[in-house]
Amino acid sequence: MTVWNQLEPLLGRVQKPARYIGCEDGAQTPEHHPETAAWLLAYPDTYEIGLPNQGLQILNEIINERPDGVSERTYAPWIDLEAEMRAAGVPLFSVDSHRAASDFDILAFNVSAELTYTNLLNMVDLAGCPVRTADRAPGDLLIGAGGHCTYNPEPIADFLDFVVLGDGEEVVGEITEAVAAWKADGKPDRSSIHRALAAIEGVYVPALYDATYGDDGMLVETVPNDPAAPDRVEKRTITDLADWPYPKRQLVPLTEVVHDRLNVEVFRGCTRGCRFCQAGMITRPVRERPAEQVRTMVAEGLRRTGYDEVALTSLSTADFSGIEEVVRATVEDPDFGGQVSVSLPSLRVDAFTVGIAGEIQKARRTGLTFAPEAGTWRMRQVINKMIREEDLYAAVRSAYSQGWRRMKLYFLTGLPTETDEDTLGIAKLARNCIEIGREYHRSPSVTVSLGGFVPKPFTPFQWFGQNTREELQRKIYLLRDELRHDRAVQLKWHDPRASVAEGIVSRGDRRLGAVIEDVWRNGGTFQEWSECFDLDRWTAALERAGMRVEDLVYRHRTEDETLPWDHISAGLHKDFLWQDWRDALDEVGLEDCRWTPCYDCGACTGYGVEHVVASAVPPAGGSQGTGQDRSRGGEVPVEFLPTRRSERVGAAT
């Protein structure tokens, strides 16, 4: 059922009606058939945020290539259109054909930010489906989710029929087969499809598990309540990116969106081992796309889309083998007259060279962002961001020497064991970068972007007690006051209140579902947007649920404590993460595992990927581990807990 005739009169009364019309270059208008499994792939934020998401576009293409599947897309309607839709009785719809969500079998979300959880509930409700799995009838939508946030699915477990862990390219086909068979059988009951989905590697079905709690309110375990469910759900990993050259037809929108350019993924995973980085941990092992395939995808994508900018995407693009050759082939391609610019969104400081800078600057210069993450070498050893100051200054010099005048430096604050000296070290680094820039330009500038650290599951810092809002704010103001008179340095920071809310839902268990639903029912949508965010909604909902932010966010966790995601596997050994946490407290940095024997993190085991030690010499000054012993036993020291603000201020105050 199309809702276009109901929707069209509403668009003249809302901001940015182009968000809702679809019609992008590259968009598909698939045919629906009674026997096919129909997917409505959803991004729980606005169109301009969700449209560039590569995961959604890739899965949309793969499903539509199958004879037993059909797929369309939807995004969260902004507040103005939502009000109009509810008043007029218009349900959630696809942007491809404007079909009502109820015409589909599956509503599946890409969840990459925890504060979009309330939008997920809102979209399920707009689709005319009960928000809780237990309340759904056999004919209701199957609600699924994937993405980085689902590595702790427990806060939204009560709302999801299934969760996909890891890479989705293969698993969506298997889910399509299972749902098509269930549909052909007349959708007899939801328990039968739940059991069928649980049999698929990489699929977690929350309804088939129960969480139990002790008298002290602590989580004891999360275990299957049905023999069809495995004790532990392993993530899904594709071993060869060359087999999946998607998206083949990247969408080109009619209206402005973020990251409006051609995007080509060059590899997945990361071997750097930054202890704060969830993405680097859960996407292991590293799998590179062949350089020739990258060049082909770039050339064909530019010709088809008409873009004059391409982003080579990964967690650390400068680590891609032959990156200079790929950049050179792109900017010097005669078909584009030397007018194509290349953006490397994830630049590792110690891998950025004059050669890369020189190739990029041959066309229009794009922005440069480097991420030292911490202001001192001691702190960078703690977080295993093994970047020395000379590495940063060499990269900055390379950029300034090739004509750049402005750059951005990204840092985190609130990291474990962080001191005021570490915080003020950020100002020192920024000033030194400005001095280097003045060797080449009259008025160089540096923007320092400061984010509040939120510990995430499946990282060595998952046991760390997050800084309080007050402590994060104090550190931000400390740095602001230090830089007050430096006109060449601009300081921007993330709202500490939002960091607290993110911390509430990042590491919670199933009891957080009631809190998320409470926030949503009290108007708390678009919590990623500053004009809509309200921390008081979250703290009030916690209080009504009998929970405290101190227990969820600010408390350090112990080795023997059951974590809400212990029944989920990201392919990493838990004892490896615990040892890495101990190494962090001891300020022990580790070399990139490309240059060393295997650390046995578990990532390469069982995925058909062997650990390979590179024959080349590691970058000078970068990724140089201390070589200290990792075989210590005993309890984690508690001396790192602060007693005075002037000392270590990493824990809650």
Domains of the chain, each with CATH number or no CATH: 4-234 (3.40.50.2300), 260-511+547-595 (3.80.30.20)
Distance (Å, rounded) from C-alpha 631 to C-alpha 395? 35
> Using 50, 70 and 90 to split pLDDT, how confident is the model at 323?
confident
Q: What does the pLDDT read at residue 57? A: 98
pLDDT per residue as tens digits for the range 297-311? 999 999 999 999 999
The amino acid at residue 554 is: Y
pLDDT range class, residue 634, cuts 50, 70, 90: very low
Unique residue bearing structure tokens 């960078």? 380
Band (pLDDT 50/70/90 cuts) for residue 35 is very high
What percent of the chain is modeled with pLDDT above 90? Answer: 80
Distance in angstroms (rounded) separating the CA atoms of residues 300 and 306: 10
Asked whether residue 284 carries a pLDDT value surpassing 60, the answer given is: yes
* Long-range Cβ pairs for the range 290-295 (8 Å, 24+): 290/242, 291/320, 291/321, 291/322, 291/325, 291/326, 293/242, 293/245, 294/264, 294/266, 294/320, 294/326, 295/326, 295/329, 295/330
For residue 609, what pLDDT is reported? 63
Residue 340's Cβ-count burial label (10 Å; 0-12, 13-18, 19+) is: buried
Residue 3 has pLDDT above 50, yes or no: yes
161-193 CB burial, b ≥16 within 10 A, e <16: bbbbbbbbbbbbbbbbbbbbebbeeebeebebb
Q: Give the pLDDT band (50/70/90) at residue 613.
A: low
Q: Which range (105-109, 231-235, 406-410, 519-523) has the least confidence? A: 406-410
Residue 99, SS3 per DSSP? strand
Each residue's pLDDT tens digit, 468-483: 999 999 999 999 999 9
> In sequence order, what DSSP letters do the residues of 209-230 get, joined into one string?
EEEEE-TTS-EEEEEESSTTS-
Question: pLDDT digit string (tens) for 178-205?
Answer: 999 999 999 999 999 999 999 999 999 9
Tell me the pLDDT tens digit for each residue of 40-59. Answer: 999 999 999 999 999 999 99
498 to each of 110, 370, 495, how far by Cα in Å?
21, 23, 5
Residue identified by tokens 């069809």 is 228
Q: Are 527 and 116 in contact (CB under 8 A)?
A: yes
Q: What is the pLDDT of residues 552-602, one digit of tens each?
A: 999 999 999 999 999 999 999 999 999 999 999 999 999 888 777 888 898
Report which of 589, 276, 584 is spatially closest to residue 459, judged by C-alpha positions.
276
Residues pairing with 447 in the sheet:
408, 490
Is 447 in contact with 437 (CB distance < 8 Å)? no
Residue type, 176: T
Joined together, the tokens standing for residue 555 give 């408390």
Mean pLDDT of the residues in the chain: 91
Interacting residues of 70 by C-beta distance below 8 A, sequence separation 6+ = 30, 31, 32, 33, 36, 37, 38, 39, 63, 64
- Counted residue by residue, the chain has a size of 653
| pTM listed for this prediction | 0.92
Q: Distance (Å, rounded) from C-alpha 173 to C-alpha 178?
A: 9
Q: How far apart are CA 250 and CA 264, in angstroms?
A: 9
**Which 8-state DSSP code applies to residue 170?**
T
